[in-house]
Chains A and B, each alone.
Chain A
């Protein structure tokens, strides 16, 4: 384990505050555009805080450092959340926040490798990330690198056949340097994921595909951190998956209470209100 050399050890800022900062930055970006996948960003903020400030090894000043753990964003539309954490980690300069989604910005609405430092792949065509992660994990093993590959995907992507080709392949090739993170918020474009194409029983499914599987509350930071540690320290020659049950819009109760859809509608005057509500809950 190289955990002490990881970024978390460099900072006294709590993970709670990191997650709060990520939520705040995502809301500020949403306010700039007057829209955005804010429900997903608020829901995944705790997982991203644990990933970038506890689990991953990287150098903020050198995003392409060969020894880094690779973090792939398969779900391109979660870019708003990843930009927030990349800024929080110092990989993206914070002064670019207000360019989100604008012409000439390095932060397009859907994440692309050719635009943004720290964005490893072009996501967005769903069901691609895990397969690319499999190839990168093979490549790291060929290079005898101790680095890990993390792939963040959505529950909707579980409907893509390519996800399961990649799942079988990861187990077949014994890729124990591969950790897949599934955001299970039970939402996709047309409604609840479990009502579109049900992927349950999900933990059992991944186990049957030969993976070390865990399922935790993705908005319980202690549980998230523990799951990351378990995934990293497990000794079986299997790829690892963590299914995070998350709540869309977490941290902004009036949005949480709204009838949730894939694309949460936030009125022009509500961004300020959401930021104010978030401010009240700022961790000490």
Chain B
């Protein structure tokens, strides 16, 4: 018996004259037109925190350079553990170091932490409520390598795990602000990470913005639509809101970087205002992420709203390709976010 070939047939893409084919090459930094960027905000924030706190150590599984932990490794080589390409020992050893009183930061890609190392995070770290901080690059759709590297369901996986705090930061401001706060937090944390040149978004829209663990914050007010967003989708939502304003659609954006515990008080209070259409936006499958968490909150609290929609990735294994192409294809680009919101009004 043989299986039918799974490979697809080649169909050349027809491009307008003069346009170059986009590639799926690994892009270090997320494109964010019009924003200033900060280099390796996680690595630098961790170095700063570690200078004040000797309990902090860093571990990685052959992805130090790809999670910005190498910055910490260069500054503090004796506190940096290269564990090799072995995510199970990465998480187990982090648990062991935490048992001995240290605060380990363990980094890898989000797919490997959530899929390969799950049992070790669940039993060695979460069940014992140890202060291991798991920080993972390539969240959701931030690479064109296809499903092996696209962590489209990591938040759904970890939301079901007791004791975990989950964070999906939007930008360099969130990442730099988050580091000292997750150190101060006593339990285990899973945070998604943007690395390389990371845009600075939130303070441009709201100059006094500061990341607050466990808090959702209004970045922009608006009377027609309330977007509740997390991760870099807050950047997309803010840019889409500016576009929609030109069409006289007034969009509010509530940024919700802490996915668990969810700031249900702020979400319910904002959603209750003015009967607006509520739209969630996340760089994650619509199964088990922010959208369903918000829906559950509004339903159990009986909040009356002017409709509910979710922007997020479909329940599919996604295509390989260039990131801008894929963001357009799956509705995460600014243009597609604006288009979707408009179509629901």
Q: Which chain A residues have a beta carbon within 8 Å of chain B's beta carbons?
A: 113-114, 120-122, 124-125, 127-128, 130-140, 142-143, 161-162, 165-166, 168-169, 172-173
Contact = CB atoms under 8 A, between A and B. Distances in A.
Interface stretch (B78-86, B171-179, B319-327): B78-86
A135 B128 contact: no
Nearest to B85: A165
Interface residues of B, number: 27
Given A131-B88, A131-B89, A161-B88, A169 B83 contact: yes
Contact of B96 (A113, A114, A137, A162): A137
A128 B121 CA distance: 10
A132 B92 contact: yes
B130 to A, nearest CB: 10
Contacts of B25: none
Interface stretch (B99-107, B133-141, B185-193, B269-277): B99-107
Most A C-beta atoms less than 10 A away, residue of B88, B102, B120, B122: B88
B77 to A, nearest CB: 13
Nearest to A135: B96
Interface in B118-132: 119-120, 122-124, 127-128
A199 B88 CA distance: 20
Contacts of B122: 125
A135 B92 contact: yes
B88 A162 contact: yes
- Main SS of the interface on chain A? helix
B123 to A, nearest CB: 5
Contact of A169 (B93, B99, B120, B127): B93
Interface in B65-115: 81, 83-84, 86, 88-89, 91-102, 104
Most A C-beta atoms less than 10 A away, residue of B97, B99, B100, B102: B100
Nearest to B59: A135
Contact of B93 (A121, A135, A140, A143): A135
A131 B120 contact: yes
- Main SS of the interface on chain B? helix
A132 B90 CA distance: 10
B86 A165 contact: yes
Nearest to B122: A125
B131 to A, nearest CB: 13
B25 to A, nearest CB: 30
A136 B99 CA distance: 7
Contacts of A162: 88-89, 92, 120
B128 A131 contact: no
18 contacts: A114-B127, A122-B123, A128-B123, A131-B91, A131-B93, A131-B124, A132-B92, A134-B92, A135-B104, A138-B81, A138-B100, A139-B97, A139-B101, A142-B100, A166-B88, A166-B89, A169-B83, A169-B89
Nearest to B54: A142
Contacts of B83: 169
A113 B92 CA distance: 15
B95 A132 contact: yes
Contact of A143 (B84, B86, B100): B100
Contacts of B89: 131, 134, 162, 165-166, 168-169
Given A136-B96, A143-B100, A122 B88 contact: no
A224 to B, nearest CB: 26
Nearest to B123: A125
Interface in B34-82: 57, 81
A119 to B, nearest CB: 11
Given A122-B123, A128-B123, A168 B86 contact: yes
